[in-house]
Structure 1
Amino acid sequence: MTTIPSIIEELDQLRPVSDVAGKVLSLLDDSGCGMSDLADIIRHEPALTANLLKLANSAYFGLPGKIGDAKQAIVYLGMTQVVDLILLVSCADTFKGSHSGYGLDRGALWESAICAAILANALSEKKGFKSTGLTFTGALLRDIGKVVIDQHVKSAMPQIMERVETQHISFMAAERQVLGVDHAQVGAMVAKRWHFPPLLQCIIRYYHTPLQADGCFTEASIVHLADAICRKMKISPGVDDSSYEEDERIAHSLGLNETVINGVIGEFSEKMEHVRTLFLAG
């Protein structure tokens, strides 16, 4: 039988994102750090540097000339986007497996993470929210809790689905009834255990319910919308996707109307093949 203590024990068994990702996240939380601090972290990680330069020189970004080092990549792409790419590289191994409890084949959770992160970034730009608000990272890591409790969900699937269907509640609410916790709560536990910035912990905890978020409403709302767009576009759908309902109040509160959101969807659809080739191959 699943118990909350047994789930908490598994948090320590989940391999954390790399040390360099932790250092980079700490930079986002320190207004005194800048480009040279980020470049110093990257230059001590040869594999990371190689992957970063591969991405920076791809057709996806269309930068002029050849980017030869980390500092040059930061100059052309900007510090925030380079941080995003570092986190993409660092988190891949955690998400790329299969997660059958949620009906996700190998790589499906990773595809959802990548696409939601890019969509969250696009929504942030439409909102004019260009600070290091961690919306990209929040969307990327929003379902880290699913990695932890996947097998528990698989074992409890009959009970969970019975509650979804008979009580007309979300899959996440049914998770709480059956397991004692839901994947967003577990994700926030992971974020706290890995010493992520408090804002990022908040986003992961409340992205499904941003109206309840205290201190990260805007960021959690953007990630919520990115997650909803992934479902609308049927990007790596899982068994829980059909149980969530969109709350129109969230987009309205951000000043993002249907026209703007459809524009984001259209722009993303046009570069979806580039995204698959660059970030999801292998």
Structure 2
Amino acid sequence: MEATLTDETQRIRLLASRVEGLPALPIMASKLLEVVDDPKASAADMAALISTDPALATRLLKLANSAYYGFPRRIGTVNLAVVVLGLETVRDLCLSVLITDCFFKGESNATFDMNGFWKHSMYTAVCTRLIYKMAGARHPGEGFITGLVHDIGKLFLGRYFPVEYNEVIATVEEEEFPLLEAEQQHFGVTHPTAGSWLLAEWNLPNWLVEAARDHHGSSSGGENVKLSCSVAFSDLLVRRKYQDEGGPGQVNEITPEMIQVLNMKKDVSGKPDFDIYNAKLEGEIDKAQGFMEAITKPG
């Protein structure tokens, strides 16, 4: 009998209860969300908030001045960065920095290759922003942070339950078992469910929670379906192109919903034109090298 979402939520809560010191996002994260959700908030309000955290302000300026955005003149102040990038993009960049500092730091172990995991997460972030933008998204920066955290449930399971997750990996590699089925077998939950639960616990936006939950193509429709399809397709593209990054995974299938929602570019046979998408992804990854470094390195 297939587990319901409620069953899985109860199981992930039981798992989380075994974890000592599960990190919480800084209060700055909720303040960023409050500013963007406030219809009366201005760029000056956002700049004033970020300026209370000099380290975050410095990181934001590095990101804004990276080749990834390609602005012709240097952005010298937080206020100008907010005006040029917009409230939503600044929110997403700052949240990406805060989540990275809070949860993505740590050493590799026998279970988890942090360097490979981080590369896969960053490449998927860059790709999701690209695909979401190509699909006509109003705020493509939401694609970046979604791609960044799409596998955060895998990190949660691997970091806090390394023995059990090592058994998952062994099952996948030795028995050629699908990753999600192996996770369900060993934990009673999958990493998309674990990740979406953690993001919800941090009170992050629903569009981010849903897209993380649905990034293996299990979208239930709704207002966030374009974002969910963007991250699912991006995960597929990155795994196909950079097969050695990110550790054991499960390559998504192209679904009719994905093709329709993303209005995919097709080759002469009517299938998604991977040559086009791969070329665009390569270009974005090249541009984003300095940007990716600025996300991870303070100061």
- TM interval, shorter chain, is 0.7 to 0.9
Aligned twin of 1:95: 104
Instruction: State whether residues 52 and 85 of structure 1, in contact with CA within 8 Å, keep that contact through their aligned partners in structure 2.
Output: yes
Aligned partner (choices 44, 48, 62) of residue 40 of structure 1: 48
By how many angstroms is 1:88 displaced? Answer: 2.7
Q: CA deviation at 1:252?
A: 0.8
Deviations 1:130-177 (A, max 9, x none): 237832222122122223211465313565356546886521221011
Distance 1:263 1:67 in 2: 29
Q: TM-score w.r.t. structure 1 length?
A: 0.82
Tell me if structure 2 keeps the 8 A contact 1:63–1:76: no
How far the C-alpha of 1:99 sits from its partner, in A, is 4.9
Deviations 1:165-222 (A, max 9, x none): 6886521221011111111111111112111122221111111134335442211111
Worse-superposed segment, 107-116 or 174-183? 107-116
Query: Contact 1:116–1:140 (CA<8 Å) still a contact in 2?
Result: yes
Q: What is aligned with 1:201?
A: 209
Q: Which of these residues, 258, 281, 286, is aligned with residue 265 of structure 1?
A: 281
2: CA distance, partners of 1:26 / 1:255 = 33
The CA distance in 2 between the partners of 1:137 and 1:103, in whole Å, is 22
Other-structure match for 2:230: 222
Unaligned 5+ runs, structure 2: 1-10, 266-271
The aligned counterpart of 1:252 is: 259
Judging changes above 3 Å, is the alpha-carbon distance between structure 1 residues 200 and 273 closer, same or farther for their aligned structure 2 residues? Answer: closer
User: Corresponding residue for 1:57?
Assistant: 65
Structure 1 Cα separation of the partners of residues 94 and 173 of structure 2: 41
- TM (norm. structure 2) is 0.78
Is the Cα contact below 8 Å between 1:96 and 1:108 reproduced in 2?
no
Greater CA drift, 155-164 or 213-222:
155-164
What's the % identity of the aligned pairs? Answer: 26
SS at match of 1:211: coil
Q: Contact between 2:146 and 2:211, CA under 8 Å: does it hold in 1?
A: yes
Matches within 5 A, 1:72-221: 72-93=80-101, 94-100=103-109, 103-105=112-114, 107-131=115-139, 134-151=142-159, 154-157=162-165, 159-161=167-169, 163-164=171-172, 169-221=177-229
Kindly report the root-mean-square deviation, in angstroms, between the aligned alpha carbons of the 2 structures.
Answer: 3.1
Could you tell me whether the CA contact under 8 Å between 1:208 and 1:224 is conserved in 2?
yes
CA separation in 1, counterparts of 2:113 and 2:135? 31
CA distance in 1, matches of 2:194, 2:235: 18
Distance 2:291 2:63 in 1: 11
Provide the secondary structure at the position in 2 that maps to 1:64.
Answer: coil
What amino acid is the match of 1:252? Answer: I
Q: Is the 8 A contact 1:146 1:187 kept in 2?
A: yes
Q: Which runs of 5+ in 1 are unaligned?
A: none
SS of the residue corresponding to residue 216 of structure 2 reads coil
| Aligned pairs, number | 278
Q: Which residue of 1 aligns with 2:7?
A: none
Q: Could you tell me whether the CA contact under 8 Å between 2:132 and 2:140 is conserved in 1?
A: no
Q: What SS class does the counterpart of residue 131 from structure 1 fall into?
A: coil
1:10-25 equivalent positions in 2, closer than 5 A? 13-25=21-33
What amino acid sits opposite 1:126 in the alignment?
M
